[in-house]
Amino acid sequence: MRRALSLAATPGVPLGPNPRVGCVLLDDAGATIAEGHHRGAGTAHAEADALATAGDRARGATAVVTLEPCNHHGRTGPCAEALVAAGVRRVVFAQPDPNPEAAGGADTLRAAGVEVEGGLLEDEARELNTVWTFAIDHGRPFVTWKFATTLDGRSAAADGTSRWVSSPAARRDTHRLRALCDVMLVGTNTVAVDDPLLTVRDEHDQPLARQPLRAVMGERDLDPGRRIFNGDAETVHLRTREPDTALKQLYARGRQHVFLEGGPTLAAAFLRAGLVDEIVVYVAPMLLGAGRSAVADLGISTIADAFRPRVTDIAVLDGDEPNVRLTLAPARTDQGA
């Protein structure tokens, strides 16, 4: 199973919209017959990939798969039926499929007389597809809120200038994180005032081939000449002020991971709605004493009611101006389901 997980995590495999899955076929002596992994939407599933390599040798084999074999007709046929047709004797999987449209493969296999065991290294399999699993379970994208701040919690100076609060190393790291998401989300005010490009770029400031969807949330009209509407990536204007509505619209588009880079007002709206699932903050070693706060009013009047996310990672990003990156998780990640 650990080998199957390694196959699933093969570098270059897209993080969505499909889960990453690996499969290993074993003979009765435990020797590997064939291996396979899913390479993205529209390509063969991991089981089909391994079966194609194995051919007739799959008969009587054990299939070790990181996700319960699917049971539905999509761009490819049901993996459960393919395993039965190939004569596989036993299937061991890690994570049950949370997608109601694809679940039921284990039952199909058992009904055909195949021995089935589930739950082996399930936590590791879920970790491999954290965002995909969350989106399926909650019916909305996973939301990562990213912001940069000074030591005294300012995201911009009193005159409105904010370039650059974060260091070059922090900005490079931000592009790395952007590339892990499929939506960049800001509010209309950020577009109107800051005119961001919101693309993923490499160390030479060149756009990558794969770009997340750029989403603008808010009801007011925007100047079509803003950079977010150029041809570097697809852009959608979500004409709503309700975070849950915006997330539902993005989920309906097949999006699973939102990178929230809006200003303090939009961030506060998502926090108040319980719709932030991860926080990434870059802390710069500088003081401003005044200026725009990193987040707007949360309606908290006493220290006892403070929002207290749990720190999951701390890293120092080296360079001429070292920044500290904090990664945090809210106490509850099932809010806004």
Annotated binding site for NADP(+): 148, 164, 190, 194, 263-269
Check 47, 122, 203, 321 and give the catalytic one.
47
The CA distance from 140 to 250, in Å, is 8
**Binding-site residues from annotation for Zn(2+):** 45, 70, 79
Three-class secondary structure of residue 207 per DSSP = strand
Catalytic residue check, 47: yes
Task: Show the tokens assigned to 325.
Answer: 């990156």
Main-chain phi, psi angles of 39, to 5 degrees: -115, 15
Number of H helices, E strands in the chain: 10, 15
**Binding-site residues from annotation:** 45, 70, 79, 148, 162, 164, 178, 190, 194, 198, 201, 261, 263-269
**Binding-site residues from annotation for substrate:** 162, 178, 198, 201, 261
**Helical pair 79-86 and 46-54, crossing angle rounded to 10 deg:** 20
Residue 46, CB-side half-sphere exposure with 13 Å CA sphere: 29
Residue 50, CB-side half-sphere exposure with 13 Å CA sphere: 32
- Convert 164-174 to b/e letters by CB count within 10 Å (16 or more is b): ebbbebbbebb
Query: What residues are labeled active site?
Result: 47
